[in-house]
Chains A and B, each alone.
Chain A
């Protein structure tokens, strides 16, 4: 059973460009979560999605960031007009149900903004 798949693992962008991070949840999981981790810091919740719905985006910056989880295909975290402060590791996690208590994380996508 494949785990949570994230790609790309590493992404380099120049300031002002767009970054797209993709996440395929584990088979049978319909809940997807995105977290951001800065060096030496804990993971910070960004957004929680189910298929075709954003359930909670309270941790998402109001501007430049968006997320989707379409009926078909992976979840995508999109960062427009990236700035150096966006450099971080972005982790996707999935779960079978809400509130089951266990998240399965991917290996992360590391974004570097030059």
Chain B
């Protein structure tokens, strides 16, 4: 069965540094992958989508890579700020806007 792994331990970094979050998956080859941000008690908010034929995607301070050989996506936030503190979810498409979601990695950016 499909398995998505995100680091369950919180990532603590200092303001201004680059945060790197990992999403690994098995037993599936998604056509695209997404990253969402979720704040406590709120719904997920879409951040970035990357397709299988794209190696890298950028949006402002965010960067996503997608390695279909390694079955891994990396999500980077450069020049991190305390406001970036949240849980970040990786989601793999499984057809018609259905997604497998990872359990998320909590990011804490300390001032």
- A residues in contact (CB < 8 Å) with B: 4, 31, 33, 35, 40-45, 48, 55-56, 91, 93, 95, 98-108
Contact = CB atoms under 8 A, between A and B. Distances in A.
A41 to B, nearest CB: 5
A46 B85 CA distance: 28
Nearest to A101: B49
B45 interface: yes
B101 A101 contact: no
Given A43-B89, A91-B44, 11 more contacts: A4-B43, A33-B98, A35-B101, A41-B103, A93-B43, A99-B93, A99-B95, A101-B32, A102-B49, A103-B97, A105-B44
5 contacts: A33-B97, A43-B44, A43-B89, A56-B98, A107-B42
Interface string B84-111: 0000010101111111111110000000
B43 A105 contact: yes
Interface residues of B, number: 26
B64 interface: no
Contact of A99 (B8, B97, B104): B97
Interface in B1-43: 4, 8, 32, 34, 36, 41-43
Given A48-B98, A95-B97, A101 B103 contact: no
Contact of B93 (A93, A101, A108): A101
Nearest to B42: A107
B46 A102 contact: yes
Contact of A101 (B4, B8, B34, B43): B34
Contact of A42 (B4, B43, B98): B4
B6 to A, nearest CB: 8
Contact of A44 (B42, B43, B101): B101
B103 A55 contact: no
B96 A42 contact: no
Contacts of B99: 43, 45, 103
Nearest to B96: A98
Contacts of A56: 96, 98
A113 to B, nearest CB: 19
